[in-house]
Homo-oligomer: A and B are copies of this chain.
């Protein structure tokens, strides 16, 4: 059996955790399996590197940032190989350029386009455990790119797809996918299964369990993902299948949201111009609300794009509200179930929470509320739908 395992930064944060992860790998290998291990940078390494860069140049280019950040995964990969070698097992660490992980050009959030897996296959057939540096790729210019926060998940799924792996296991510091963030909602329930679409909505809505693109890629290539904890033996959550498993699958929240209000929008042409500027500057927009009658265009972007957005909109009449959080009820066929929206309104009323705006779709109901009300509302919604 060919198994791809991915260990996140917290699962390899220090010596004992790294060795713990290594012994999981060792077990699978000793059972006769071929194993590809994808690792993230250890613990706070990536944050520390970003800090070091900011100290030298607060406006460092994304090309150079990728050059810098990719070293974190390279270090973790070589240390993991050393750990397995220390257990008497053959292991070899590989970088993106060695694995032929070709990505789009854009630094900082590149997309994997192709994997030339010859080298990995050769190492596996030589009996080696392959330790893959996650999060990184190379583009057509021959430069190092990174895949964005959580990109190692995508590396794992992409490798599982390219190698036609039998299993793709994502090890993290939580036991699986929960109906809400278990750190904030004590009654949160672990799901045994979740469909790609449900998971996709869920991650888009701010549940940080899996990298969004990894789920898209898993869906595209039909890779069954197992999300589980590297610190316990309990079964995790399987992400697979087209069919939804439940009406409401979870409550997600996201504090990294900015609400931008652009004024003086009199016609569609002006609206187009704004989105053209956003696209040119590579700024992803989430919720959009256009009300021609008020002359206002409102949309949300991620907090991390604050500076970019300000640059893009320079000279335009706009306001940014950064005191909001987005709470989303994620599920399937929500629009055809008016009861769900009614329950959301009920929770807002009972908790006396004002909302800035609400959007609904077939698969999610999102409300923008004051950050201070976030935890209270999430608990109330969780109670309504799961307890």
Contacts and interface: CB of A to CB of B under 8 A. Distances in A.
A79 to B, nearest CB: 5
Contacts of A144: 95
A323 interface: no
B81 A64 contact: yes
A68 interface: yes
Given A67-B93, A98-B142, A98-B143, A60 B85 contact: yes
A57 B85 contact: yes
A interface, over-half SS = helix
Interface in A50-73: 52-53, 55-57, 59-61, 63-65, 67-68, 70-71
Q: How many copies does the complex hold?
A: 2
A78 B61 CA distance: 10
Contact of A56 (B18, B60, B92): B18
A302 interface: no
A77 interface: yes
Interface of A: 15, 18-19, 49, 52-53, 55-57, 59-61, 63-65, 67-68, 70-71, 74-75, 77-79, 81-83, 85-86, 92-93, 95, 97-98, 119, 142-144
A53 B80 CA distance: 10
Contacts of A55: 15
Contacts of A142: 98, 119
B79 A53 contact: yes
A361 to B, nearest CB: 41
Contact of A67 (B15, B63, B67, B78): B78
A64 B49 contact: no
B78 A64 contact: yes
Contacts of A78: 53, 64-65, 67-68
